Amino acid sequence: MDWTLELIVVPVADVDRAKAFYSERLGFVVDVDHSAGEDFRVVQLTPQGSACSISIMKNKETAGNVQGLHLVVSDIDAARAEIVGRGVEAGEIFHFEEGGQVPGPDPERRDYGSFLAFNDPDGNGWLIQEVKRTKIRD
């Protein structure tokens, strides 16, 4: 039996602001934007090429509490240039050596070795990770 992760709920304080950030700055595709009254709105967005989506949910009390979500790209330099060019405040690329964070990409450009971090407007924390493989899992 396959167990697939296909949706992650990300709490935000302002749905419109978050929708604009994810769609305009990160280039996520808006799959659904549906309201059922003033208190219920579903906005689902999917990163280009991903099988997993996010659903942004208005919840001021927990906005910014999601940390460590990973986006995987084949070229971290190009990914950083793209999102910075769209106005995202992203950190510099880094890797780990002997348990510590070191500036710059992994010297051998190994899969899972290079990262960069950014936050959405509410402080939900994301990492971009470089993996050059073309197939995620069998």
pLDDT in the model for residue 133:
73
Element spanning 83, H or E: helix 76-85
Domains (range + CATH), the chain: 7-130 (3.10.180.10)
| pTM listed for this prediction | 0.90
pLDDT in tens, 88-104: 999 999 999 998 999 99
Q: What is the mean pLDDT of residues 65-82?
A: 97
Asked whether the beta carbons of 30 and 19 are under 8 A apart, the reply is yes
Is it the case that residue 135 has pLDDT exceeding 70? no
Q: Are 11 and 55 in contact (CB under 8 A)?
A: no
Cα–Cα distance list, 75 to 11, 19, 54, 72, 82 (Å): 28, 25, 22, 9, 11
35-54 burial by CB neighbour count: b if 16+ within 10 A, else e?
A: eeeeeebebbbbbeeeeebb
